[in-house]
Structure 1
Amino acid sequence: MRQNKYDDPGFYENYSRMPRSAGGLEAAGEWPVFRDMLPDLNGKKVLDIGCGYGWHCRYARERRARAVVGIDLSEKMLERARESTDDPAIEYRRMAIEDLDFPEGEFDAVISSLALHYVESFEDVCRKVHRILAPGGSFVLSVEHPVFTALAAQDWHYGPNGERLHWPVDHYFDEGSRRARFLGHDVVKYHRTVASHLNALIEAGFAIRKVAEPGPAPELLAKYPEMRDEARRPIFLLIAADKM
Structure 2
Amino acid sequence: MKNTEILKINKDGWDKVYEDFFSATSLPIYGPFAPTEDELTLFNDVSNKNILEIGCGSGHSLVYFAKKGANELWGLDLSTIQIETAQKLHTEKHIESYLFVSPMENDPGIPHSHFDIVFSIFALGWTTDLPKTLKNIYDYLKPGGSFIFSWEHPLYSRLSYEEGHFVARQSYISEGRSTKAWHGVPIVMHDRKLSTYINELINVGFCIKKIIEEYKAPVDEGEDDPEHWYSSHRARRVPPTFIIKCVK
| Equivalent residue, structure 1, for 2:139 | 131
Higher relative contact order (CA 8 A, sep 6+): 2
Choose which of 12, 17, 25 in structure 1 pairs with 2:18: 12
How far does residue 24 in structure 1 lie from its aligned partner after superposition? 5.5
Judge conservation of contact 1:119–1:189 (CA < 8 Å) in 2: no
| Equivalent residue, structure 1, for 2:106 | 99
How far does residue 242 in structure 1 lie from its aligned partner after superposition? 0.4
Equivalent residues in 2 for 1:22-33, closer than 5 Å:
25=27, 28-29=31-32, 30=34, 32-33=36-37
Judge conservation of contact 2:28–2:37 (CA < 8 Å) in 1: no
Q: TM-score, normalised by structure 1?
A: 0.82
CA distance in 2, matches of 1:198, 1:141: 12
| Equivalent residue, structure 1, for 2:199 | 199
Q: Percent identity?
A: 25
CA distance in 2, matches of 1:148, 1:70: 28
Greater percentage in helix: 1
CA distance in 2, matches of 1:215, 1:184: 29
How far does residue 217 in structure 1 lie from its aligned partner after superposition? 4.2
Q: TM-score, normalised by structure 2?
A: 0.81
CA distance in 2, matches of 1:92, 1:31: 28
| Unaligned segments of structure 2, at least 5 residues | 226-230
Residue deviations 1:113-156 (CA, integer Å, cap 9, x gap): 1112111211111111111100110000111211134x5xxx62
Judge conservation of contact 1:212–1:237 (CA < 8 Å) in 2: yes
| Equivalent residue, structure 1, for 2:228 | none
Amino acid of the structure 1 residue aligned with 2:232: R
* 1:59–1:188 CA distance, 2 compared to 1 (3 A): same
RMSD: 2.5
Q: How many residues align?
A: 228
Equivalent residues in 2 for 1:29-108, closer than 5 Å:
29=32, 30=34, 32-33=36-37, 36-85=41-90, 86-100=93-107, 101-108=109-116
How far does residue 91 in structure 1 lie from its aligned partner after superposition? 2.4
Partner secondary structure for residue 215 of structure 1: coil
Q: Does 1:232 align with 2:240?
A: no
| Unaligned segments of structure 1, at least 5 residues | none
Residue deviations 1:45-68 (CA, integer Å, cap 9, x gap): 000010011111111112211010
CA distance in 2, matches of 1:137, 1:26: 20
Q: Does 1:146 align with 2:146?
A: no
